[in-house]
Amino acid sequence: MCQYNGHFVYLAIFNYVIKITMRVCSIIGYKGESLAAPLLVTCLQKMEYRGYDSVGIGTINDGKVSVRKGVGRVEDVDSTLLLRILPGRIGIGHTRWATHGRVTEANAHPHTSCNGEIAVVHNGIIQNYSQLKSQLLMKGHVFKSETDSEVIAHLLEDDYKETGDLRGAISNTSKKLAGAFSFIAAFSDGTIAGARFDEPLIVGISKDGYYISSDVVGFLNYTDRAIFLDNRDIVILKGSGMEMITFDGAPVVRPVTQVAWEFGGIDKGTYAHFTIKEINEQVETIVKSGRGQESKIEEVSEMLKLAPFIYFTGSGTSYHCALVAKNLLAKYGKRKSDAIVSSEFQYLVNDIERDSVIVAISQSGETADVLEVIKKAKTLGSKIISIVNVPTSSLARLSDVSIHMNCGPEIGVAATKSFTSQLTILYAIVDSLSGGVIGLEDQKYKLQNAVKELVERQRLIEQIAEEIKDVKDIYVLGRSIHYPIALEGALKIKELSYVHAEGIPAGELKHGPLALIDRNSCILVLNPNDSTFDDVKANAHEIKARGASLIGIGNSPSDVYDRFITIPEMDEVFYPLLEVIPFQMIAYYLALEKDANPDYPRNLAKSVTVK
Ligand code: F6R
């Protein structure tokens, strides 16, 4: 999908779409011939999956900055506040996922300077904002919000006053900020400027103007020509031109990238939600994953063969994939490895062996916890392999070898098809390393049919969701390679339906959790036909004796289960890839039963770029 050709990179649009994993906030700027506000509203709607508790727009018209902002989804705030009628052909916009400060109108962006001549939108975290804020308060600045972001507007005002030079002010302000950030500032004289450090910022060049955005999806409706800014880059749109400098003021030139678009990928089509669309897409993505990347898969398998130490890492769903990978590698590749969740690994990574190979798994390639591990490990000499869905992501760029998931945009906040895609690639790597023991290629079409059969079980899953909608606690049990799927199943249920759910190794039940089980509990049991079958079934009987309701997932229905979801027969190695699908569907339909929006779970965002 991605061929590097000098300064010209051609990419399928879905490669950019960020399930950019909790991309916490989205920022966008426009300067051109069209009216800015309606355009910015549309751009923000496209990026809403990244963060969505409040929204705001600021435009410049006749030397005046106008701002409107409010709490809620873009569509709702626009219909109450009429964001789109703000005047002017220059503007900035923001959707927020709160990090500093509550979800209030005052904390929504844009934030303005005291003199009202500068408006700022920001994505990321300003770590030193409290020191900066104290200094600014001493100088007499008045703050209107509780956010870290507002310091940027006041700093720019201060630096502009001091230097009398807008360019100098932007670079001075950028240098004072610590943390990971990208921001766009609009000035009453009609200038727009963006700066980035460790958060993406992309310039879109269209026939009628320029865009600056945290996400290429923001402007893809209008242009396919983009410039990806590097760390410590500043872009300034002044008059009708564009200038790029570093934080130190040195001129810089970055290549123009052409983005090929596949709009269908970021549309719900006939589905009610992106999440169910993406669950269904697994019928295709399961065979597409890894396609065209056979040589990279081989290269990675050679690296793993030679590696003295192997670590898999990732966050959330991607970490669950890492756990399955460790299991697969041990069983079929006869190689020992460890799987460590990235938010914990960052404290251990200084102590790992120097010649380790780290396999980082991340849909977005932007998850802060993962990047923290990788950056540290690289300085110690580790080799980095990544599996990502966004080939231009920070993680892909930092890696020695990066394999693209190729599963298309994942807009639903909960990871679904990206999980099965990353897992399929890991199967391919272990298969290559083990001389074909798994036989993935030969089984792919059988696998595809099995996925198809599973997604067609909609009616049964809807009934199950209806039956369990009032339970307070769900426990998911699995042994061996199925335990990570139990964790993943519980995570899906928690995040989509807000029901408490826990994944437990089935053998651990008797060591404590059994105390929680009574008639009101609902237990989902991974009980496929493999070496875990008898032990898990015995666990199911122990639970049955305590009166809880039991739902089995496996190949052989049994009386012990009140309900049973049958997984099509396949070589047992493939069961983890299949078992996860009923959980995704249960979580989705449970969310509907609870009147929750499965695409946008509360408090969560798609790309988690904060630690
Ligand atoms: C769960 C989910 C999250 C992500 C996690 C890592 O459904 O989406 O747990 O898996 O935030 O994101 P990536 O894979 O982008 O690093």
User: What pLDDT digit, counting tens, does each position of 522-536 carry?
Assistant: 999 999 999 999 999
Q: Whose CA is nearest to atom 10 of ligand 1?
A: 317
- Across residues 95-113, what is the average pLDDT? 89
Which mutation among 363, 395, 583 tests ligand 1's pocket best, with the greatest number of atoms within 8 A of CB? 363
340 φ, ψ (degrees, to nearest 5) = -130, 130
464 vs 611, residue with greater confidence: 464
Cα–Cα distance measured from residue 34 to residue 207, given in angstroms and rounded to the nearest whole number: 10
pLDDT at 263 over 60: no
Q: What is the pLDDT of residues 292-314, one digit of tens each?
A: 899 999 999 999 999 999 999 99
Which of 176, 288, 494, 606 is catalytic? The answer is 606
Q: What is 39-64 written as a DSSP string?
A: HHHHHHHHHGGG--SEEEEEEEETTE
pLDDT at 44 over 50: yes
Atom of ligand 1 nearest to the CA of 20: 15
pLDDT at 5 over 70: no
> What integer pLDDT is reported at residue 605 of this predicted model?
62
> What integer pLDDT is reported at residue 607 of this predicted model?
65
> What integer pLDDT is reported at residue 602 of this predicted model?
76
Prediction pTM value:
0.73
For the chain, what are the domain ranges?
8-264, 269-456, 458-611
- In the structure, which protein residues have their CB atom closer than 6 angstroms to any atom of ligand 1? 21-22, 315-318, 362-364, 367, 370, 414-415, 491, 495, 608
> What integer pLDDT is reported at residue 609 of this predicted model?
64
pLDDT at 98 over 80: no
CA of 365 to the centre of ligand 1 (A): 10
> What integer pLDDT is reported at residue 50 of this predicted model?
66
> What integer pLDDT is reported at residue 240 of this predicted model?
86
In this prediction, residue 128 has a pLDDT band, given cuts at 50, 70 and 90, of very high
Q: At what angle do helices 36-47 and 74-81 cross, to 10 degrees?
A: 150
Which mutation among 17, 20, 24, 315 tests ligand 1's pocket best, with the greatest number of atoms within 8 A of CB? 315
Cα–Cα distance measured from residue 360 to residue 314, given in angstroms and rounded to the nearest whole number: 6
CA of 89 to the centre of ligand 1 (A): 37
Q: Which CATH class is domain 269-456?
A: alpha beta
CA of 586 to the centre of ligand 1 (A): 19
- Across residues 31-54, what is the average pLDDT? 89
- Across residues 217-227, what is the average pLDDT? 87
pLDDT at 207 over 50: yes
- Across residues 205-234, what is the average pLDDT? 91
In the chain, the amino acid numbered 503 is G
pLDDT at 8 over 60: no
Instruction: Provide the CATH number for the domain formed by 8-264 in this structure.
Output: 3.60.20.10
pLDDT at 13 over 70: no
Which mutation among 343, 346, 608 tests ligand 1's pocket best, with the greatest number of atoms within 8 A of CB? 608
- Across residues 195-219, what is the average pLDDT? 92
Same fold, 269-456 and 458-611: yes
458 vs 606, residue with greater confidence: 458
Q: Whose CA is nearest to atom 3 of ligand 1?
A: 316
- Across residues 21-49, what is the average pLDDT? 86
CA of 564 to the centre of ligand 1 (A): 28
Q: Where are the alpha helices (H) located in 123-165, listed in sequence order?
A: 129-138, 150-163
Edge-to-edge strands of the sheet including 357-362?
Answer: 338-341, 310-314, 357-362, 383-388, 401-404
Q: Put residue 42 in one of left, alpha, beta given phi > 0 → left and psi -120 to 50 → alpha.
A: alpha
Atom of ligand 1 nearest to the CA of 370: 16
What's the DSSP call for residue 258? E
Q: Whose CA is nearest to atom 5 of ligand 1?
A: 316
Atom of ligand 1 nearest to the CA of 492: 7
In this prediction, residue 101 has a pLDDT band, given cuts at 50, 70 and 90, of confident
In this structure, what token pair is assigned to residue 228? 């990806």
Q: What is the pLDDT of residues 546-603, one digit of tens each?
A: 889 999 999 999 999 999 999 999 999 999 999 999 999 999 999 999 999 898 787 7
In this prediction, residue 22 has a pLDDT band, given cuts at 50, 70 and 90, of very low
Q: What is the pLDDT of residues 418-474, one digit of tens each?
A: 999 999 999 999 999 999 999 999 999 999 999 999 999 999 999 999 999 999 999
> What integer pLDDT is reported at residue 426 of this predicted model?
98
Which mutation among 22, 324, 496 tests ligand 1's pocket best, with the greatest number of atoms within 8 A of CB? 22
Q: What is the architecture, at CATH level 2, of domain 458-611?
A: 3-Layer(aba) Sandwich (3.40)
Which of 25, 43, 321, 522 is catalytic? The answer is 25
> What integer pLDDT is reported at residue 611 of this predicted model?
67
CA of 169 to the centre of ligand 1 (A): 37
CA of 315 to the centre of ligand 1 (A): 6
Catalytic: 383?
A: no
Catalytic: 407?
A: no
Burial class for 101, CB neighbours closer than 10 Å (0-12, 13-18, 19+):
middle
Averaged pLDDT score across all residues of the chain: 91
> What integer pLDDT is reported at residue 331 of this predicted model?
96
66 φ, ψ (degrees, to nearest 5) = -120, 135
Q: CB–CB of 102/146 below 8 Å?
A: yes
> What integer pLDDT is reported at residue 394 of this predicted model?
85
Q: What is the pLDDT of residues 340-378, one digit of tens each?
A: 999 999 999 988 888 999 999 999 898 999 999 999 999
- Across residues 491-520, what is the average pLDDT? 94
pLDDT at 97 over 50: yes
Q: CB–CB of 555/566 below 8 Å?
A: yes
CA of 543 to the centre of ligand 1 (A): 31
CA of 19 to the centre of ligand 1 (A): 8
Q: CB–CB of 156/165 below 8 Å?
A: no
Q: Whose CA is nearest to atom 12 of ligand 1?
A: 21
CA of 24 to the centre of ligand 1 (A): 12
CB proximity list for 538: less than 8 A, separation 6 or greater: none
> What integer pLDDT is reported at residue 155 of this predicted model?
98
Atom of ligand 1 nearest to the CA of 607: 15
pLDDT at 20 over 60: no
Atom of ligand 1 nearest to the CA of 418: 14
Q: CB–CB of 548/421 below 8 Å?
A: no
Atom of ligand 1 nearest to the CA of 606: 8
Q: Whose CA is nearest to atom 9 of ligand 1?
A: 316
pLDDT at 16 over 90: no
